[in-house]
Structure 1
Amino acid sequence: MTFEVSQNGGRSVAFITLGCAKNEVDSEKMRAKAKAAGYRIEQDPENADAVVINTCSFIQSATEESLEAIFEAAGMENVASGGAKLIVAGCMPARYGDDLEVELTEADAFVPCSKEDDLGAILDALFGGSLKNASLNSESNANVSSASGEAVREDEPVSVSAYVKISDGCDRFCSYCAIPFIRGRYHSFALQDIEREVAAHVAKGTREIVLIAQDTGRWGQDFKEPSTLAALMGELAERYPSTWFRVMYIQPEGITDELLQTVASHDNICSYFDIPLQHVDKALLHDMNRAGSREKYLALAEHIRATVPEVTLRTTLIAGFPGETEEQFEELCDFVSEGLFDYIGVFAYSREEGTAAYDLPDQIDEDVKAERAQTLRDLADASCTPRIAQRIGREMDVLVEGREEDGQLFGRAMCQAPDVDGETYISAGNVGDIVHVRIADTLLYEMEAE
């Protein structure tokens, strides 16, 4: 969980964010809405007049973590005494609706994903009236950029890497996934709004923009005049040639030749593809309401590597989906052992109420799911870490991100996405620099450079 801080006047609001990077972006949007309504952003929730918990409810464990955070906040002295308001926002209110309001009496207000833009008015209602003057002068608004629903302000701390959402919602309805019920139907954000947010980040010194969504590969297809993710990335890369661009969460169908050529032809677009496959057995994928097969995915990985030099591939897999036989699991293990991917995330299947897979027969025992997931993780380490070790001796650029407590500089190369792929440790440079290095050694997923 993270907290944001500012020095605006008025009553104070603290934000506690759980879940993925998309939630981080949504919290930033809500923070800007609160600031625009005249509220000061407080770092410490125990000193705030209102505490907003941006929840995650993608799977059961995330819901449980969100509930723990809510109950912990409800027990803080300022909230328990009634002096501070507790607001539950994000995925949980979106997913559980009125049922949550009945059960979770600790909260003073609920803000589902679709209502996050209304946070300022909701705070005003809780406190009995607006804290802002009716006529907010244009100067105070001038430094707010609201792109794709998000905002960047000049008084925020500079981050060398920033997430930018390019769409929201999902139309795939994978049988295990609750996202369409939480986020609604898929809708792309306009190019000009995305570009405005990117421009605001770049103007502040951000060196890497990570484009995210539930389904990034579909960007632009729902426009009156359809566009493509390749067109979006090419446009951004050419407008900001000194900025790295990275895209995450591309479904296999979103990997087009146009996209591959766009990535290959722009030095500032990371040669990096995050492609969630989930499984490789055709019958099991059909039960997941997904298309694909082991043969198709092998061909896709080979085609990408043939088209984009020195590409980095990441995927995610699900172990223990209902009906997964020993033979199907072994097929997945064999696929992992082939070593086509640099990074593999593994999750045990989570049975989620409201999804089609919840009522499927042949649900697998929790211990078996956990055992299969761990087996896959061990195989992933065995097949991926040798690929990481092959980088020893290679020269590459590293974006310097910060220092450890002992002063050790660290950053990330283009082959490392934020938060998931480890760090590169370096000996010289300043935060925000892009330095050219030679990889001297690796340890699992970490790299050391000189």
Structure 2
Amino acid sequence: MPYKIAFVSLGCAKNLVNTEQMMALCRKAGHTVTGEPEGADVAVLNTCGFIESAKSEAIENILELAQLKQAGKLKKLLVAGCLTQRYPDDIRKELPEVDGMLGTGSYTDVVTAVEELMAGERPEHFERIDRAYDDGERIVTTPPYTAYLKIAEGCSNGCAFCIIPKLRGRYRSRTMDHLLEEAKSLADSGVKELIVIAQDITRYGTDLGDGTTLAGLLRELCKLPFHWIRLHYLYPEAITDELVEVIAKEKKIVHYLDIPIQHCNDAILKAMRRRNTKVELEELFARLRKAIPDVVIRTSLICGLPGEGEEEFEELCAFLKEQKLQRAGVFQFSPEEGTLAEKMENQVDPEVAARRVELVVDLQSRIMDEYNEERLGTVMEVLCEGFDSQAGCFVGRTYADSVEIDGHVYFTAAGLVPAGEFVPVRITGVSDGDLTGEIEE
């Protein structure tokens, strides 16, 4: 019997790809797929369970869906993803509103789980987290001009603060044949911006043992009719000369590199179990800027790791002022259960860590303002994302802005500019971290 199944996806883009795969499996089985839980037979909530804020968001969503059930507007709730993988016992005990669970190794069991739910059972599917299911159809839910390509699953890096290897398993690359087949299908459907993602894309192919590399994959992807190819996330110690050369030479690869460094102090980096030193980071950024003069670097930073005193924090601030990384996500250390960092000595007072986050955010916003000011008077290529009725003009992104995490360009035009169109925009102003401009006819 066909059911109406609603999907809600939380967390990162990698999670979204898993949601899109589950949607395709349900549609293929004859069910109706929707994004609106009200009136559905089953809501499938794909959760993140990485840090405290993500867990809170997942629980809030569970409780909201539970209210719909109570009001008779939803029949069953199936929770999938990292939260269930991490806390199955807690969910059973504390959240009786949840009717069934799928772990991160069991996305392919979604159709079976839905049918079990509707037959009155309480399904729980927790297969091995390191089995690789990453090939197969997706219902792409991003705008028609932008899509993600997940090239690997899991992570083997073992950073002290991170729970992902325990939730997603060891690192495993998808084969290049499968990736190119999926990428071709995305290009054929009209995707113009391909965002290459994994927990760590730089290690792509290292587990396959057949000479496959990220540089080789990118060369092949550049043969397809994409306009932009964007890269998330490049681990600093694994960025090879060959990779830098490919990024510099291939015109389709945007000069925006997301390189999570987390810190710059050598003792903190060692405690984090990161594989680089401050000097190596400085050398890498110098090498990238020499090869790719207009490169925009985004990073992730953690403030308040155990052992971070005022001296280490000041060193981080001085490093950021000197390096002027144009984009940064700044996070407060969260002592996650099951990680090495949870049990470290010299834990930093959460209020001190929160203040440090604010200071770094403030510092980074000044760096971003400086970058934006330098854009004034230049003409930049902008991917139009449509008309913003509130702002009364069109809105889009430059190569320096990734989806949902960076800024926008608000611009005026004499005629209609369709979403998904690339247009030249003369930058004339800066507003709250965003750029403003007018189309260059």
Same fold (TM over 0.5): yes
2:173 alignment partner, one of 168, 188, 195: 188
Asked if the contact 1:161–1:208 (Cα under 8 Å) also holds between the matched residues in 2, the reply is yes
In the alignment, does 2:160 pair up with 1:175? yes
Report the alpha carbon displacement of residue 258 of structure 1 after superposing the two structures with TM: 0.9
Q: Which AA in structure 2 matches 1:40?
A: T
Counterpart of 1:328?
312
1:282 alignment partner, one of 266, 275, 288: 266
Asked if the contact 2:43–2:74 (Cα under 8 Å) also holds between the matched residues in 1, the reply is no
Report the alpha carbon displacement of residue 232 of structure 1 after superposing the two structures with TM: 0.8
Report the alpha carbon displacement of residue 260 of structure 1 after superposing the two structures with TM: 1.1
Q: Which AA in structure 1 matches 2:418?
A: N
Report the alpha carbon displacement of residue 158 of structure 1 after superposing the two structures with TM: 5.0
In the alignment, does 2:40 pair up with 1:48? yes
Counterpart of 2:437?
449
Q: TM-score, normalised by structure 2?
A: 0.91
- Alpha-carbon spacing, 1:296–1:157, altered in 2? closer, same or farther (3 Å): closer
Counterpart of 1:148?
134
Q: Which AA in structure 1 matches 2:175?
A: A
In the alignment, does 2:63 pair up with 1:67? no
Q: Which AA in structure 2 matches 1:332?
A: L
Report the alpha carbon displacement of residue 150 of structure 1 after superposing the two structures with TM: 5.2
1:251 alignment partner, one of 215, 235, 242: 235
Q: Which AA in structure 1 matches 2:50?
A: F
Counterpart of 2:281?
297
Counterpart of 1:344?
328
Between the aligned partners of 2:380 and 2:396, the Cα distance in structure 1 is 12
- Name stretches of at least 5 consecutive residues in structure 1 with no aligned partner: 1-8, 130-146
Between the aligned partners of 2:22 and 2:110, the Cα distance in structure 1 is 6
- Identify the range of structure 1 (433-442 vs 299-308) with the bigger mean alpha-carbon deviation: 433-442
Between the aligned partners of 1:174 and 1:188, the Cα distance in structure 2 is 19
- Identify the range of structure 1 (196-205 vs 279-288) with the bigger mean alpha-carbon deviation: 196-205
Matched residue of 1:49: which SS?
strand
In the alignment, does 2:428 pair up with 1:437? no
Matched residue of 1:89: which SS?
strand
Counterpart of 1:28?
20
Aligned-residue sequence identity (percent) comes to 38
Counterpart of 1:354?
338
Between the aligned partners of 1:83 and 1:363, the Cα distance in structure 2 is 44
Between the aligned partners of 1:89 and 1:14, the Cα distance in structure 2 is 13
- Identify the range of structure 1 (102-111 vs 159-168) with the bigger mean alpha-carbon deviation: 102-111
- Identify the range of structure 1 (304-313 vs 334-343) with the bigger mean alpha-carbon deviation: 334-343
Report the alpha carbon displacement of residue 292 of structure 1 after superposing the two structures with TM: 2.1
In the alignment, does 2:406 pair up with 1:418? no
Between the aligned partners of 2:389 and 2:426, the Cα distance in structure 1 is 24
Between the aligned partners of 1:199 and 1:174, the Cα distance in structure 2 is 34
Q: Which AA in structure 2 matches 1:222?
A: D
Between the aligned partners of 1:270 and 1:194, the Cα distance in structure 2 is 19
1:369 alignment partner, one of 350, 353, 374: 353
Provide, for residues 334-360 of structure 1, a one-character-per-residue CA deviation record: whole Å limited to 9, x for no partner: 111124311111101011000001000
Q: Which AA in structure 2 matches 1:164?
A: L
- Identify the range of structure 1 (212-221 vs 158-167) with the bigger mean alpha-carbon deviation: 158-167
Q: Tell me the matched-pair count.
A: 422
Q: Which AA in structure 1 matches 2:116?
A: A
Counterpart of 1:306?
290
Q: Which AA in structure 1 matches 2:179?
A: I
Asked if the contact 1:245–1:269 (Cα under 8 Å) also holds between the matched residues in 2, the reply is yes
Counterpart of 1:237?
222
1:96 alignment partner, one of 79, 87, 91: 87
Between the aligned partners of 1:268 and 1:350, the Cα distance in structure 2 is 37
- Name stretches of at least 5 consecutive residues in structure 2 with no aligned partner: 121-132
Report the alpha carbon displacement of residue 28 of structure 1 after superposing the two structures with TM: 0.8
Asked if the contact 1:202–1:243 (Cα under 8 Å) also holds between the matched residues in 2, the reply is no
Q: TM-score, normalised by structure 1?
A: 0.89
Report the alpha carbon displacement of residue 98 of structure 1 after superposing the two structures with TM: 4.1
Report the alpha carbon displacement of residue 227 of structure 1 after superposing the two structures with TM: 1.4
Report the alpha carbon displacement of residue 91 of structure 1 after superposing the two structures with TM: 0.6
Asked if the contact 1:14–1:50 (Cα under 8 Å) also holds between the matched residues in 2, the reply is yes
Between the aligned partners of 2:337 and 2:309, the Cα distance in structure 1 is 23
Counterpart of 1:118?
109
Q: Which AA in structure 1 matches 2:95?
A: L
